[in-house]
């Protein structure tokens, strides 16, 4: 057997306060500081606590050169090697873990970005239930739990020193922006027309053209910017209520402006998946269409290899696309939303995505706004919901 260290690894010293009867008996407060080292790696389901001898051995083994286990055991305690192997921090050659580790290496992730991304993925989280628990424990008083918020604006000079600017006049764009309100009330009794569905998808996600920037380097032209013109964000769809489109999971082909069917669903299955995708946020579950924004990491990192800004650029791409979807929906009288509170692992499993190469960073959606405002929407100017 030959071993080497995993490709990406970060260590965090974490202090924990533990009860110690001995210190209490000696007249102390009964508390003892304990330092624990945590190992973070994309392939781990959770951070792994390390013992001092494990930490020492891990730092002594190469992440690039395979070494015979017997050769390592002559230098390091076999029990420690076995423990690190079981954790997934030491990789065995020709194993499934080695193949996974190799895919991660080929994707050219920057170490800090990879650890942050994989450590923040959710599975089976019910955000609504957690919020209700907080509200019940604090009687709905946000200030008592969090303290006062930071000011709305970070001000740097005295008001008298500000340079006043002329406000622009009214315009179709201004009216569109005023009506752009995140929807929390979708009409579950109506279906989107095929034309509405097609329009929003193309305006936000469709490719206007494909251009060969260099030989064998094609780039997409969408209606929004993207780092390097790569447009490494894919649109995976959960369709619930669209005329002529069966409920199910789809992939959107931006060049052909077409759906690729992945899995048919009945109404209850689609609703259950929707609830899982948005971590139990009930006000989004009835959206007629959910669009999962999934980043193709290798496409971005192909050019921006181990780049400090590459992961940030992926997040910016999704912001551009979601705003385009908001405006495209609002223009034709529909409503939209976006949320980052999502169960990434559940989405990956539903669509069969390999999280080392392609992963969801947000869930967006659009549909017909309900006639009744059941859930409060942030519409302080009462443009969408006029005062009665």
Domain range for 343 is 108-141+174-388
Residue 146 resides in a domain:
no
Give yes or no for a contact between 237 and 205, defined as CB atoms under 8 angstroms apart. Answer: no
Give yes or no for a contact between 348 and 335, defined as CB atoms under 8 angstroms apart. Answer: no
User: Which is nearest to 34 in space by CA: 23, 46, 47?
Assistant: 23
Query: Pick from 60, 81, 106: which residue ends a domain?
Result: 106
Q: pLDDT tens-digit profile of 174-206?
A: 999 999 999 999 999 999 999 999 999 999 999
Q: pLDDT tens-digit profile of 95-117?
A: 999 999 999 999 999 999 999 99
Q: How many domains does the chain have?
A: 2
Q: Name residues whose C-beta falls within 8 Å of residue 228's C-beta, 6 or more positions apart in sequence.
A: 219, 300, 303, 304, 313
CA quadruple 387, 374, 269, 123: dihedral positive or negative? positive
Residue 117's φ and ψ, nearest 5 degrees, are -65, -50
SS3 303: helix
124 in the same domain as 95: no
* pLDDT band at residue 31 under the 50/70/90 scheme: confident
Look up the CATH number of the domain holding residue 244.
Answer: 3.40.109.10
Residue 158 resides in a domain:
no
226 in the same domain as 347: yes
What pLDDT, on a 0 to 100 scale, did the predictor assign at position 28? Answer: 81
For the cut 80, the answer to whether the pLDDT of residue 134 exceeds it is no
Instruction: Please tell me what DSSP assigns to residue 305.
Output: T
For the cut 70, the answer to whether the pLDDT of residue 155 exceeds it is yes
| Pairwise CA distance, residues 86 & 5, whole Å | 12
117 in the same domain as 11: no
What pLDDT, on a 0 to 100 scale, did the predictor assign at position 312? Answer: 96
What pLDDT, on a 0 to 100 scale, did the predictor assign at position 90? Answer: 97
What pLDDT, on a 0 to 100 scale, did the predictor assign at position 375? Answer: 95
Q: pLDDT tens-digit profile of 307-361?
A: 999 999 999 999 999 999 999 999 999 999 999 999 999 999 999 999 989 999 9
Average pLDDT, the chain: 94
83 in the same domain as 50: yes
Query: Pick from 106, 128, 150: which residue ends a domain?
Result: 106
Q: pLDDT tens-digit profile of 264-278?
A: 999 999 999 999 999
The pTM for the full model equals 0.91
Say which residue, 215 or 125, is predicted with more confidence: 125
């Amino acid at each position: 057997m030959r071993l080497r260290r995993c490709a990406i690894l970060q260590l965090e010293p974490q202090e924990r306060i533990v009860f110690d009867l001995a210190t209490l008996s000696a007249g102390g407060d009964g508390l003892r500081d304990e330092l624990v080292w945590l190992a973070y790696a994309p392939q781990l389901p959770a951070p792994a606590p390390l013992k001092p001898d494990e930490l020492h051995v891990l730092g002594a083994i190469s992440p690039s050169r395979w070494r015979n286990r017997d050769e390592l055991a002559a230098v390091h305690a076999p029990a420690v090697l076995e423990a690190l192997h079981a954790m997934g921090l030491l990789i065995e050659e020709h194993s499934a873990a080695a193949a996974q580790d190799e895919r991660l290496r080929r994707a050219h992730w920057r170490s800090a970005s990879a650890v942050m991304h994989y450590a923040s993925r959710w599975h089976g989280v019910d955000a609504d239930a957690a919020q209700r628990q907080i509200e019940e424990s604090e009687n709905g008083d946000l200030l008592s739990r969090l303290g006062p918020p930071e000011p709305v604006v970070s001000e740097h000079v005295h008001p008298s020193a500000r340079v006043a600017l002329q406000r622009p006049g009214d315009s179709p764009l201004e009216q569109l922006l005023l009506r752009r309100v995140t929807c929390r009330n979708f009409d579950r009794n109506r279906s989107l027309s095929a034309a509405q569905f097609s329009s929003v998808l193309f305006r936000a996600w469709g490719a206007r053209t494909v251009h060969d920037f260099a030989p064998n380097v094609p780039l997409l032209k969408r209606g929004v910017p993207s780092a390097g013109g790569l447009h490494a964000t894919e649109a995976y769809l959960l369709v619930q209520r669209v005329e002529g489109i069966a409920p199910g999971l789809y992939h959107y082909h931006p060049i052909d402006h077409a759906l690729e069917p992945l899995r048919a669903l009945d109404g209850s299955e689609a609703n259950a998946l929707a609830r899982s995708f948005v971590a139990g946020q009930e006000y989004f579950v009835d959206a007629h269409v959910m669009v999962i924004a999934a980043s193709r990491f290798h496409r971005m990192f192909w050019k921006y290899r181990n780049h400090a800004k590459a992961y940030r650029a992926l997040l910016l791409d999704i912001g551009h696309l979601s705003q385009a979807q908001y405006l495209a929906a609002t223009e034709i009288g529909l409503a939209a939303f976006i949320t980052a509170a999502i169960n990434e692992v559940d989405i990956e499993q539903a669509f069969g995505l390999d999280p080392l190469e392609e992963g969801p960073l947000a869930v967006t959606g659009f549909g017909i706004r309900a006639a009744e405002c059941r859930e409060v929407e942030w519409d302080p100017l009462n443009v969408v919901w006029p005062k009665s």
